[in-house]
Structure 1
């Protein structure tokens, strides 16, 4: 269930009430998101400037004009959200501890629970950092029995992510990887970066600027810089994203029918009937394997080469052989069955 909230020109897609892990880096996007969530949660008082909330649950015609009506508004939104602020220090920058301290103090200000981690990665890899970050967030969600993880991805991120995933060769799923899932919510997907900055200025909100954001050796930064000079391209990609959501949903429905015929999900693994899989057309094999991997790990990003290697291994690998695909996924082969399994992640030091 989503609540469409128009606030300072921002269309926010609120998830239903519940317990959530909120990913906060300290940057402007996540800090603005946390401010909006904190205002609506039971742990933070309603701000006078935040009374102008418009959605299908709260009236916009009658603004409170006395203390009694304001108390009524507070009761109305009380206990909407229970928030746990989560911060990841990738350990790449000498000043990254400053970001951690900023987010921790922000959580204390809002009287929210806070957990952070510092990744210990084998090398300076964007993919490894992303894998470690998401593993930490998903583990927190399970540990705290939270409804979902909330991230601050916004409308401008859609175009960037499409181009990044096309470059990686992640296939059709990469065109809509920012879509919401059962355990990942993105309330700001209809909000632009400019709107986030406007909200930040209007509320005098402080945030930190990652010193690596200007470094174009990072893929996302380089693409962001190019998109900044081609706004029409960004808008067209956002339209493609909307169309692909519908198309991918239809394809996934068809794959769901095939899945029942060739595989069986058992806990943290999916067993694939090798003979039934081998009987499928090669393109369908590839789409089905990607579909099954995403069933295990909705954040997995396998490129075309990895998917091809995985499908080939199901078709031809000897029993007892293990094929590592990436994104913490491996295939364990037996004579009649190949099992898709999640594997361990980068070592992390958890801080509280």
Structure 2
């Protein structure tokens, strides 16, 4: 049986050994035919603690590893309301922790071609194909050297070498969706003269080729930008739009939420926020972004009596000269400012005309002199610069430095 060797002779590798036929065969191959392909081998085992046989199986595997001169690392999980997903998450976290602690270069798992085909079917039939399809032969430091080998070949190898296999009865239960696919859908495909399950492998390869094109379009759209054009977004292909949003949220988001975001961005809605966990899609007129909210105390009023640099709700107020006090505050009902060649204008109308997002309107500094006159509205208007004939003993500049909402 041929393995895909992606590690070097100088590497310290580990195997995730469950005791089932797949991992036992992989372990046997690493001990025999492939024993000269690595520097050292460690055995890692996770006792899920959900079956009576688990403790005894762990002892058997530990004995096997020690007889072969290999370090045996194991853990017993204690998960309330155990599910396969919870078990998988805890299992891989244990592997990563051990790899870091023991300086292991790669962890090998015994996924095979039938696993890959079942995964493709599962992702297609459950609508989980948006982020890729099938099992990756390489994922970070995890390698799947048997991904090109069929299960029947693995079983033949085990029988030929009379290997001891620890059977997990839960693999026969249709309670798990993957098992149902394995027991009922795949056999029907095999039995039908016009169907070939290998076609799913070809489909996976084609899909991954198309996936690379989608990623290139996503990268081009997002490149070096924090805020994005709604018009440009709406010109993208639908699947690219979904992947752009998932990249901005930097997480695997369910498709229904992404579809809702696309619908909003295509609509005439001027401003809206859609929240998902700790991230928020902020739509503001012609642009949008995804931000992460960080709780910070908001400043409502700040009296400035001397030159210097002052932080105000994510804005930096730089005062170079000052012979009287000024007040930086947030907006109030009835606020008006004098606009060159226009006259007075409500501050709220200024925000609307300048398309200032709602979340910034209550944070932007309004600068007021002692007689109550507004001389600046954030970085938008500064009448000190606009009216040369007016003599102010103040020189200030306001810039966005940071927001209490950070990307």
Q: TM-score under structure 1 normalisation?
A: 0.66
Deviations 1:258-313 (A, max 9, x none): 45424xxxxxxxxxx3x33867347534313545788xxxxx8654246558999x
Q: 1:34 aligns with which of 27, 47, 51?
A: 27
- Counterparts in 2 of 1:120 and 1:309: CA distance versus 1, 3 Å: farther
Structure 2: where are the runs of 5+ without partners? 265-271, 281-290, 295-402
Q: 1:236 aligns with which of 171, 178, 199?
A: 199
Show the counterpart of 1:20.
Answer: 13
Q: Distance in 1 between matches of 2:98 and 2:222?
A: 30
CA contact under 8 A between 2:21 and 2:154: conserved in structure 1?
Answer: yes
Q: Distance in 2 between matches of 1:96 and 1:258?
A: 50
Q: TM-score under structure 2 normalisation?
A: 0.58
Q: Distance in 1 between matches of 2:169 and 2:138?
A: 29
Deviations 1:120-160 (A, max 9, x none): 22312122112111222222223333222211000111111
**Do residues 250 (structure 1) and 243 (structure 2) align?**
no
Q: Superposition pairs for residues 261-272 of structure 1, below 5 Å?
A: 261-262=224-225
Show the counterpart of 1:156.
Answer: 114
Structure 1: where are the runs of 5+ without partners? 1-9, 43-76, 263-272, 295-299, 325-330, 340-352
Q: Superposition pairs for residues 1-352 of structure 1, below 5 Å?
A: 10-17=1-8, 18-39=11-32, 77=36, 80-226=38-184, 227-231=186-190, 232-262=195-225, 273=226, 275-276=227-228, 280-281=233-234, 283-291=239-247, 303-305=254-256, 316-317=273-274, 322=278, 332-334=292-294
Q: Distance in 1 between matches of 2:171 and 2:275?
A: 46
- After TM superposition, give the deviation of residue 213 of structure 1 in Å: 1.0
CA contact under 8 A between 1:317 and 1:333: conserved in structure 2?
Answer: no
Question: Which structure has greater helix proportion?
Answer: 1
Runs of 4+ displaced beyond 6 Å:
309-312
Two-structure CA RMSD over aligned residues (Å):
3.3
Question: Which structure has greater strand proportion?
Answer: 2
SS of the counterpart of 2:131? helix
> Relative contact order (C-alpha < 8 Å, sep 6+): which is higher?
1
- Counterparts in 2 of 1:84 and 1:301: CA distance versus 1, 3 Å: farther
Q: Distance in 2 between matches of 1:164 and 1:145?
A: 35
Q: Distance in 2 between matches of 1:206 and 1:80?
A: 24
- Counterparts in 2 of 1:179 and 1:173: CA distance versus 1, 3 Å: farther
